[in-house]
Amino acid sequence: MLLAVDIGNTMIKAAVFEDAVLVEKFVFDKSGAAEEVQNIFEKHPGITHSMLASVGKEEENLFALLKEKTQLLEVGRNFTFPFQNKYGTPETLGIDRMVLAAGAVLKFPGRNRLVIDAGTCVTYDFIDNAGNYLGGAISPGLQMRYNAMHTFTAKLPLLYAEMPESFIGSSTATSMHSGAVYGLLLELDGFIARYVEQYQEVTIIMTGGDADFLAKRLKNTIFANSNFLLESLNLLYLYTNQ
């Protein structure tokens, strides 16, 4: 069994896999991460390997525990990925984006693929049907848009994502909801339309904490999977061990 661990900017996500099957998923705060993972080992004693990807600060206790309990693979820039990296500054490309690109290539071979990760930031990553990673875009995530309006103004309140009843806000709160939510939805549809216009057949994969909230409100047909990064870690592990 494999334990896949994703250390993000704010939270840690983990999942236990038996070959290609996701057995159980866990989400927890970075504080007390080692204790949380120890509980996973106790619940799933069959775990023998682990795969770690980190965009945040690594937790030393967690890292030590994974090395003690499992055969640990940490995804880094020198890892063997199933695509050709054509990014102009490959040394700055986030590990999470590389893992997602790998998952898209392995799950949807031979296609043009656009992976959208709607988390703290929204990242767009495009891999063409020849297996070339070309890059994409980064923009503020949904909650970051609310936080920015509150932080950089004198009187706008701090709100959290909520679908407004109308496109036209009738109060300060509903106007903020309209700007944040519809603004991001229009951005997403616009980006997708540009990729489809240039590459015609494009498989769209959306993941991240806001994937479920956003995906059902988009005009375009997409594969929404909030677990795609964890599943991509498992696919990359299986690919590496083949």
56 versus 174: the higher-pLDDT residue is: 174
What pLDDT is recorded for position 143? 96
Q: Give the pLDDT of residue 219.
A: 82
Q: Over the stretch 85-119, which tens digit does the pLDDT of each residue have?
A: 999 999 999 999 999 999 999 999 999 999 999 99
User: Is the confidence at residue 84, as pLDDT, over 90?
Assistant: yes
Residue 96 is among the residues annotated as catalytic for this protein: yes
Domains along the chain with CATH numbers:
2-74 (3.30.420.40), 84-234 (3.30.420.40)
- Candidates 6, 19, 96, 189; catalytic one: 96
Residue range 22-55, pLDDT digits in tens: 999 999 988 888 999 999 999 999 999 999 998 7
pLDDT value at residue 101: 98
What pTM, to 2 d.p., does this model score?
A: 0.92
- Mean pLDDT (the chain) is 94
Query: Which pLDDT does position 8 carry in this prediction?
Result: 82
Q: Can you give the chain as a three-state secondary structure string? A: CEEEEEECCCEEEEEEEECCEEEEEEEEECCCHHHHHHHHHHHCCCCCEEEEEECCCCCHHHHHHHHHHCEEEECCCCCCCCCEECCCCHHHCCHHHHHHHHHHHHHCCCCEEEEEEECCEEEEEEECCCCEEEEEEEEECHHHHHHHHHHCCCCCCCCCCCCCCCCCCCCHHHHHHHHHHHHHHHHHHHHHHHHHHHHCCEEEEEECCCHHHHHCCCCCCCEECCCHHHHHHHHHHHHHHC
